[in-house]
Amino acid sequence: MKPKFTIIFPVAQNVHLIKDVGQIANALGEHHDFDSTLVCYKNSDDYTYLKTEATSLKLDFISPKGRFLFLEKAVLNYLKIHAKKIDVLQLFHLTKETIYYTLYFAFLNKKAKIYIKMDVYNETLEQDVIYSKKPIFQWIHKKAEKQFLKKITVISAENPTSLTLLKQKFPILQHKAILVTNGVNDLFLKTNFPTINSFEEKENIILSVGRIGAVDKNYEMLLDAFIQAKLTGWKLILVGPIEVAFQEKVNQFFIENPILKTQIELVGNVEDRISLYNYYNRSKLFCLSSPQESFGIAFVEALYFGNYLIGTTGMSSFEYITNNFTHGAWVNPNDTNKLIELLKEITTNQLLIEKNRLPAHQRVVDYFCWEKVISTLLKRLQ
């Protein structure tokens, strides 16, 4: 009988199936014959990625039943019914919800294994974990935390620095904490892109993929830097759902500078993954200007297609992803002037971009394909 691997992530939408929420379990099912199930509310009209990049994952929908204190009754009920059948339970983040779901599950099934994926900023691990602003509840939750850390089988962080910080913060995790990054589905990519574009086939495109205009993504910085840099022969393409205020700002730029219409393209949301990857395949540079990112899966996707990366110092995993800046460079958050200088420097160094293409792709093949990513986790679970 296949070992049953279950993820509890009530807020999962279709997009989560192509992220770590769906892809770790999918890879375990695809490559190692696990029976993988994601438990969530039905938050999307359709979960189309089950047919493309999450073909070895099943969904088990739960219905909202309200809350018991801060816990979802639907999750508690699911665990009560199904706990005995689960061999491995996966939860996300170090939160009070995760702590008490874990303790409840461990009570119901003492033989099962429990895996926690942190998905955390490095800076967060340097601070105290605040579960409640009320001292008495904080004390109670910290007591529960100690029991939680004893019950879990394995816990992972996304980069070597966060892994070290996690072990320092919780010495009990010295032999439980491992590195599990985020990654790409190499089987899907190899099927649809047997080869990546050559340097000659690529275009002078700076690409960014994300929630365009979202406050925490700071696309204003990238937009302003691109306009001020006045890069001859280069184009900025932004892919992702667009905030209304950001679209209005771009429209105003177009009124004031009509020539920018030929240099800046706001594509909007692209759900079809082959169409999205075609943008990565066409571009030479990939830039995110977020003040903070715990990992940045889009960086790995861009790296797979040989893009040179630009990020900020607030991105916890950027140094690891770029192999100590071999495949990218960063600036301080909100340092628009430095980003302007960096864009000018890199776009005028086509040799750097050309030499980066194949080693960048190989970096992902070696370290960030899901089959490679889960190898250490698999050993712990076995």
**Tens-digit pLDDT profile for residues 295-347:** 999 999 999 999 999 999 999 999 999 999 999 999 999 999 999 999 999 99
What's the predicted TM-score (pTM) here? Answer: 0.93
Do 132 and 70 contact (CB within 8 A), yes or no? no
Specify whether 246 is located in the same domain as 340: yes
Residues of the domain holding 328: 186-367
**Tens-digit pLDDT profile for residues 17-56:** 999 999 999 999 999 999 999 999 999 999 999 999 999 9
357 contacts: CB under 8 Å, gap ≥ 6 = 196, 198, 199, 202, 306
Identify the pLDDT of residue 333: 95
Identity of the residue numbered 123: E
Confidence of residue 354 (pLDDT cuts 50, 70, 90): very high
Burial per residue of 143-153, b for 16 or more beta-carbon CB atoms within 10 angstroms, e otherwise: ebbeebbeebe
Specify whether 199 is located in the same domain as 293: yes
Please compute the mean of the pLDDT values over residues 210-239 and round it to a whole number: 95
Specify whether 298 is located in the same domain as 158: no
**Tens-digit pLDDT profile for residues 69-115:** 999 999 999 999 999 999 999 999 999 999 999 999 999 999 999 99
Confidence of residue 253 (pLDDT cuts 50, 70, 90): confident
* pLDDT above 90: residue 382: no
Identify the pLDDT of residue 68: 94
Please compute the mean of the pLDDT values over residues 241-251 and round it to a whole number: 92
* pLDDT above 90: residue 120: no
57 contacts: CB under 8 Å, gap ≥ 6 = 17, 22, 25, 26, 29, 36, 37, 38, 50
Identify the pLDDT of residue 262: 93
What CATH number corresponds to the domain at position 24?
3.40.50.2000
Count of domains observed in the chain: 2
Specify whether 214 is located in the same domain as 149: no
Q: How far apart are CA 194 and CA 337, in angstroms?
A: 39
Specify whether 85 is located in the same domain as 198: no
Specify whether 353 is located in the same domain as 217: yes
